[in-house]
Amino acid sequence: MCSAGGPIDVEFTEQIQGKSCVCKDCENKFKSIGKKIRCPSCGSDHVVVLE
């Protein structure tokens, strides 16, 4: 195992940010990734994904 210390993939950070989502129950805006999105504020799955 030799660690070359290569450059970190900066491009990944944009993808990790996820999609903009809005909770329909509490109107909380957040970013999330994945298929089952839940509002981090109230835990509702009434979430709309903004493009």
Which residue has tokens 């195992």?
Answer: 1
Does 28 sit near Zn ion (CB under 5 A)?
yes
Q: Using CB under 5 A, pick the residue from 17, 20, 26, 45 that binds Zn ion.
A: 26
* 3-class secondary structure, 32: strand
Give the amino acid at 10: V
* Strand ranges for 1-51 from DSSP E: 19-23, 29-32, 47-50
Q: Using CB under 5 A, pick the residue from 17, 41, 45, 49 that binds Zn ion.
A: 41
Does 23 sit near Zn ion (CB under 5 A)?
yes
Report the interface residues with Zn ion, using CB under 5 A: 23, 25-26, 28, 39, 41-42, 44
